[in-house]
């Protein structure tokens, strides 16, 4: 897919900062920016990294072409010297991050951007937009697939979110374990299986339910899914089974989209079985979230279609990730830790190297985050602690590591999430509000005499 420029999906202050830094001579200082969250929204037990492949696409397309430059000049956003810098801009630094789909916790350095100050600061907005959105949806999706046990979950929320966000949400849902999407652009852009049959309007445009069901079976075959609640559910079920049989087959599934889904699932299952349609499945789709899915756990339901609550992050539509300068070159050319000190938003300075420590039973026990100056220092600490390193190279000196996007990357992210989640202690899978599933231990190798501290 060709990408239009992503360069103006950027807050103005990124560019005025470049202008100021060009003036003061700090624009070229080597810098380390880090994406992390101070907390997990809503007392969640874990977060899910999603959007990494989209970040790589956005970084590649982050170029200020003539149209972007013309706008910036006309609007007087920055002056000529800065426009010259932007005209030539192409990210030449390195990006390291948690593999897409990996679980994360407060303080996990899920993305690290290294480059000159100007090169790296300007990516802040678009990187956060992508990761905050996609990770929020993936976290909700993951909770829903936990609640669904192995029953398939299908994404159907396009209409309840921005049209572009809908496509990204379909992708993020797959990272979290969903297996299909209603939105066709999700199929085209990311190879996700498109799903869907008919809405109530299809039944209503026909003279009666029988005519609608016959038309759908004629085009989609008897193994389609018929929506049976436009008028009266028991009659709808009867007609649905009859329509499939009239076409020489057994009905694939019925869909319930209103009413008390638990009670209806039982009565519809009974009715289907009494009609001999024992292979006909039941799919439910009305206002589901992870709690409703859990409540349907004992009901004879075969799949879940989730809309609003999935694409809006089930109450938490943004992952609260931030992008902070944690280290930069000083006037003497040495790298120095930096961190905002004031008030409620303090953060820990320094490059961070992260690993997951497992206990004897192979369960995750701790997120070990080492603040250091060099990657090698941190990796040595992880090895000492027996921790699995969590960061992988995504961009090396401006060159994108292709395996993390493109065909296969989404399936790999889904699998990585499945494995990472399975490794968490049972308590991390709980839907209730609580503490993160494992604690984050922050170790600062440059402060050897400080006690370790936990964020």
Q: Which stretch binds its own copies (CB under 8 A): 237-245, 326-334, 365-373, 407-415?
A: 326-334
27 versus 365: smaller Cβ distance to its own copies: 27
Distance separating alpha carbons of residues 167 and 163, to the nearest angstrom:
7
- Name which of residues 153 to 192 contact its own copies (CB under 8 A): 156, 158-169, 182-185, 187-188
Q: Which stretch binds its own copies (CB under 8 A): 196-204, 240-248, 296-304, 398-406?
A: 196-204
Q: How far is the CB of 183 from its own copies (least distance, A)?
A: 6
Q: Which residues of 95-106 are buried (b: 16+ CB within 10 A; e: fewer)?
A: bbbbbbbbbbbb
Distance separating alpha carbons of residues 316 and 309, to the nearest angstrom:
9
Q: How far is the CB of 389 from its own copies (least distance, A)?
A: 27
Select the residue interacting with its own copies from 179, 220, 262, 445 (CB under 8 A): 220
- Name which of residues 120 to 159 contact its own copies (CB under 8 A): 121, 124-126, 128-130, 132-133, 156, 158-159
- Torsion sign across C-alpha atoms 382, 386, 390, 396: positive
- Name which of residues 291 to 310 contact its own copies (CB under 8 A): 308
- Name which of residues 14 to 43 contact its own copies (CB under 8 A): 14-17, 19-21, 23-24, 26, 29, 31, 33
Select the residue interacting with its own copies from 73, 90, 92, 219 (CB under 8 A): 219
Q: Does 230 bind its own copies (CB under 8 A)?
A: yes
Contact assessment for residue 444 and residue 455, using Cβ atoms and an 8 Å cutoff:
no
* Residue 137 φ/ψ region, left for φ over 0, alpha for ψ in the -120 to 50 degree band, beta for the rest: alpha
Q: At what angle do helices 233-246 and 209-220 cross, to 10 degrees?
A: 40
Strand order in the sheet with 281-284: 153-155, 303-306, 281-284, 253-256, 225-227
Select the residue interacting with its own copies from 3, 65, 73, 79 (CB under 8 A): 79
Q: What phi and psi values does residue 269 have, to the nearest 5 degrees?
A: -60, -45
Contact assessment for residue 123 and residue 36, using Cβ atoms and an 8 Å cutoff:
no
121 versus 382: smaller Cβ distance to its own copies: 121
129 versus 420: smaller Cβ distance to its own copies: 129
184 versus 357: smaller Cβ distance to its own copies: 184
Two structure tokens written together for 190: 């990311």
Q: Does 324 bind its own copies (CB under 8 A)?
A: yes
6 vs 2, 61, 143, 150, 339, CA distance in Å? 12, 6, 31, 38, 29
- Name which of residues 332 to 361 contact its own copies (CB under 8 A): 338-345
Two structure tokens written together for 240: 């649905």
Select the residue interacting with its own copies from 42, 152, 196, 389 (CB under 8 A): 196
348 versus 387: smaller Cβ distance to its own copies: 348
Distance separating alpha carbons of residues 326 and 338, to the nearest angstrom:
5
Q: How far is the CB of 32 from its own copies (least distance, A)?
A: 11
Q: Does 207 bind its own copies (CB under 8 A)?
A: yes
Select the residue interacting with its own copies from 3, 73, 201, 298 (CB under 8 A): 201
311 versus 394: smaller Cβ distance to its own copies: 311
211 versus 422: smaller Cβ distance to its own copies: 211
Residues 6+ apart with CB under 8 A from 444: 348, 350, 370, 371, 372, 450, 453
Q: How far is the CB of 37 from its own copies (least distance, A)?
A: 12
- The residue count for binding its own copies (CB under 8 A) is 106
Two structure tokens written together for 205: 């445009």
Residue 173 bridge partners (DSSP): none
Question: What is the pattern of x (binds its own copies, CB under 8 A) and - over residues 418-437?
Answer: --------------------
Question: What is the pattern of x (binds its own copies, CB under 8 A) and - over residues 372-411?
Answer: ----------------------------------------
Distance separating alpha carbons of residues 90 and 113, to the nearest angstrom:
14
Two structure tokens written together for 82: 């800065």
Distance separating alpha carbons of residues 153 and 143, to the nearest angstrom:
11
- Name which of residues 256 to 295 contact its own copies (CB under 8 A): 257-259, 286
Distance separating alpha carbons of residues 256 and 234, to the nearest angstrom:
11
Q: How far is the CB of 365 from its own copies (least distance, A)?
A: 32
For the chain, what is the radius of gyration of the CA atoms?
25
Q: What phi and psi values does residue 192 have, to the nearest 5 degrees?
A: -75, 145
Q: Does 331 bind its own copies (CB under 8 A)?
A: yes
Distance separating alpha carbons of residues 366 and 378, to the nearest angstrom:
16
Q: Which stretch binds its own copies (CB under 8 A): 10-18, 84-92, 99-107, 412-420?
A: 10-18
């Amino acid at each position: 897919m060709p990408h239009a420029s992503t360069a103006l999906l950027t807050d103005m202050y990124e560019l005025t900062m470049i202008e100021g830094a060009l003036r003061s001579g700090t624009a070229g200082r080597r810098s380390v920016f880090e994406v992390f969250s101070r907390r997990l929204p809503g007392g969640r037990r874990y977060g899910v990294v999603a959007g990494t492949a989209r970040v790589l696409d956005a970084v590649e397309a982050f170029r200020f072409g003539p149209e972007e430059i013309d706008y910036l000049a006309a609007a007087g956003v920055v002056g000529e010297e800065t426009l010259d810098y932007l005209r030539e801009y192409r990210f030449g630094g390195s990006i390291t991050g948690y593999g897409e789909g990996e679980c994360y916790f407060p303080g996990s350095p899920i993305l690290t951007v290294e480059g000159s100050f100007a090169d790296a600061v300007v990516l802040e907005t678009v990187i956060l937009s992508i990761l905050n959105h996609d990770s929020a949806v993936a976290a909700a999706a993951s909770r829903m697939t936990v609640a669904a046990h192995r029953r398939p979950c299908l994404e159907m929320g396009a209409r309840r979110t921005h049209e572009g966000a809908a496509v990204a949400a379909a992708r993020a849902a797959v990272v979290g374990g969903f297996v299909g999407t209603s939105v066709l652009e999700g199929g085209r852009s990311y190879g996700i299986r498109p799903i869907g049959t008919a809405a109530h309007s299809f039944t209503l445009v026909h003279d009666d339910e029988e005519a609608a069901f016959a038309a759908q079976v004629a085009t989609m075959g008897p193994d389609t899914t018929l929506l049976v609640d436009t008028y009266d559910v028991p009659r709808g079920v009867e007609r649905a089974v009859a329509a499939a049989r009239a076409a020489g087959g057994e009905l694939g599934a019925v869909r319930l989209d209103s009413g008390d889904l638990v009670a209806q699932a039982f009565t519809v299952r009974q009715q289907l079985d009494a009609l001999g349609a024992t292979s006909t499945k039941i799919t439910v789709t009305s206002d589901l979230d992870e709690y409703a899915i859990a409540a349907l756990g004992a009901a004879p339901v075969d799949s879940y279609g989730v809309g609003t609550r999935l694409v809006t992050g089930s109450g938490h539509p943004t992952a609260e990730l931030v992008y902070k300068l944690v280290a930069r070159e000083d006037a003497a050319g040495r790298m120095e830790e930096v961190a905002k000190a004031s008030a409620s938003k303090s953060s820990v300075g320094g490059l961070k190297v992260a690993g997951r420590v497992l206990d004897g039973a192979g369960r995750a026990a701790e997120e070990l985050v080492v603040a250091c100056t060099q990657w090698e220092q941190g990796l040595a600490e992880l090895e000492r602690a027996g921790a699995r390193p969590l960061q992988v190279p995504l961009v090396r000196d401006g060159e994108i590591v292709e395996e993390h996007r493109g065909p296969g990357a989404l399936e790999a992210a889904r699998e990585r999430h499945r494995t990472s989640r399975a490794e968490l202690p049972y308590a991390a899978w709980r839907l209730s509000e609580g503490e993160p599933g494992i604690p984050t231990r922050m170790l600062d190798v440059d402060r050897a005499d400080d006690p370790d501290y936990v964020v």
